[in-house]
Amino acid sequence: MRQKVTLKMLSLELGLSISTVSKSLKNDPEISQATIERVRKLAKERNYKPNALAVSLKSNKTRSIGVIIPDILNNFFAKVLLGIEIEASKNNYKIITSISNESFEKEKEYLDMLSYNGVDGFILAVSQEAQTKGEFDHFNEVLKDDIPIVMFDRVADDVYCDKVIVDDKKGAGDAVDKLINSGCKRIGVVSTIQKLSVGKERYEGVERRIKSYEKETKILKLKKTKDYEEQIADFVKDNNYDGIIGLDETAAVSAVNAANILGLKVPEKLSVIGFTNGILSRHSYPKLTTVSQHGRRMGSLAAKILIDKLELRAERYLPETKVIKTSIIERGTTSN
C-alpha cells in the first residue's frame, strides 16, 4: 500500500492541529478562510488523499458494492456487470465481484463474508442451485442486518428487496408475434435453461401467445450429453417446424446452425429468434434476430437503485421492482 500523506503530516508541517486541518479540508465554516486556503494548498501540493480505510472504520461505510454473478462467461451477465461498473464508478463506488458459479454454497459464502465487513450493499442474480432448491434464507439474513440487496434478472419472489427484472413473458410473446408475422406456421421452442425461472417464464409467455393464435408448440430441452445442433435438427425435422424460438442465446444460435445441417435456408425455410442480444447473436450466420434484455441498462439501473438507497438512507422507502422492457433486435434470421 502506498506511503500515504496523512492529516498528521499536514498538521505538523502547517503548525496546526489535526482537527483544524480536517475541518479545513471540509470547508467547515468554523475555520477562517485564510487557514482553509493554506491547508488546501498544501494538501494539493502533497497530493493528500484521505485514507479510505480509516474513513470507513469511522463511518461504517465502505463505498463498495458486492456483486455476485452466477456465470461471468455468460455474455448477458458480463453486460450487466459492465452496466453496474460504469454506474458505480460514476458515483465513486468500488465493486467487489464474486462469481457463484451457480452454486448455492458459494453464493452463501460470499454473501456472508462480504456482508460482514466489506460492502455497503449487494447486487446479484440468484444462482441456479439456490433457485432450484428454493433456498433464500441467506438473503433474508443479510437484509435483516440492514444491508440492502438489489436482485436482477434471476430474482427470488419470496425475498423482500429491490429487483430489476425483464418482462420475459411479454418478450416471449413478442417473439411469437415476430415469427407469425414472418409467415411461420409451425413454431418450436428450444432451450438450455429450463431449470431457471427465466426459462420457465419465457416458455410460459410463448405458450400463451401461441395459444392465442390457436396453435400449439413443444419445447426441446437440450441435453449437454449430445451436440445441440443435432438435437435441434432432429426436433425440427420430426415436427416439420418452420420457426424456432431459442429461449437463450446458445440454444438460438445452435438452431441457426442446425438449419445449416438440414440444408434449410434461414430465414426462407426456417426462421429463428433468440433471447439475449449478445455477442453470439451478432456473429452467427445469418445474424440472429433476438429479444434484447438490455443487460447493460439493467446493470446500471440496479446500481442506481442501490446507490440511491445507500445515500438517502433517511426515508427508508419500500422495495420496488423495476421492469425493463424487452425489444426485438431484427437481424437476418427472420423476414418481414
Partner DNA sequence: GTGAAAGCGCTAACAC
Partner DNA sequence: GTGTTAGCGCTTTCAC
Q: Which residues bind DNA (CB under 7 A)?
A: 4, 6-8, 15-20, 22-23, 25-26, 28, 30-32, 34-35, 48, 50-51, 54-55, 57-59
- Which of its own copies, DNA, none has residue 18 at its interface (CB below 5 to 8 Å by kind)? DNA
Can you read off the three cell numbers belonging to residue 186? 409451425
Kindly identify the residues of this chain, within the stretch 273-292, that bind its own copies according to CB under 8 A. Answer: 279-280, 283-285
How far apart CA 244 and CA 274 sit, in angstroms, is: 8
Kindly identify the residues of this chain, within the stretch 58-77, that bind its own copies according to CB under 8 A. Answer: 60-62, 64, 67, 72-73, 75
Q: Is the dihedral of CA 223, 228, 234, 238 positive or negative?
A: positive
- Of these, 19, 28, 116, 316, which contacts its own copies (CB under 8 A)? 116
How far apart CA 85 and CA 205 sit, in angstroms, is: 31
Question: What's at 165, amino acid-wise?
Answer: I
Kindly identify the residues of this chain, within the stretch 195-214, that bind its own copies according to CB under 8 A. Answer: none
Residue 218 binds to its own copies (criterion: CB under 8 A): no
β-bridge pairing 243-246 and 94-99: unpaired
Question: What's at 4, amino acid-wise?
Answer: K
β-bridge pairing 327-329 and 289-292: antiparallel
**Residue 117 or 181 with smaller CB distance to DNA:** 117
Q: Which residues contact 167 (CB under 8 A, 6 or more apart)?
A: 323, 324, 325, 326
> Which residue has cell 433468440?
274
- Which of its own copies, DNA, none has residue 214 at its interface (CB below 5 to 8 Å by kind)? none
* Crossing angle for the helix pair 33-46 and 18-25, to the nearest 10 degrees: 90
How far apart CA 152 and CA 80 sit, in angstroms, is: 9
How far apart CA 233 and CA 15 sit, in angstroms, is: 81
- Of these, 57, 160, 312, 320, which contacts its own copies (CB under 8 A)? 57
- Which of DNA, its own copies, none has residue 20 at its interface (CB below 5 to 8 Å by kind)? DNA
Residue 312 binds to its own copies (criterion: CB under 8 A): no
* Strand, helix or coil for residue 97: strand
- Of these, 7, 114, 156, 298, which contacts its own copies (CB under 8 A)? 114
Residue 1 binds to its own copies (criterion: CB under 8 A): yes
Can you read off the three cell numbers belonging to residue 254? 445452435
Minimum distance, C-beta of residue 52 to DNA, in the bound complex (Å): 8
Specify whether the CB–CB gap between 123 and 284 falls below 8 A.
Answer: no
- Per-residue binding string, its own copies, 135-154, x by CB under 8 A, is -------x--xxx-------
Minimum distance, C-beta of residue 257 to DNA, in the bound complex (Å): 56
**Residue 7 or 165 with smaller CB distance to DNA:** 7
Torsion angle defined by CA atoms of residues 256, 262, 266 and 270, in that order, rounded to the nearest 10 degrees: -90
Residues near its own copies (CB under 8 A): 1-4, 49-54, 56-57, 60-62, 64, 67, 72-73, 75, 78-79, 81-82, 85-86, 89, 94-99, 110, 114-118, 120, 142, 145-147, 229, 250, 253-254, 256-257, 260, 279-280, 283-285
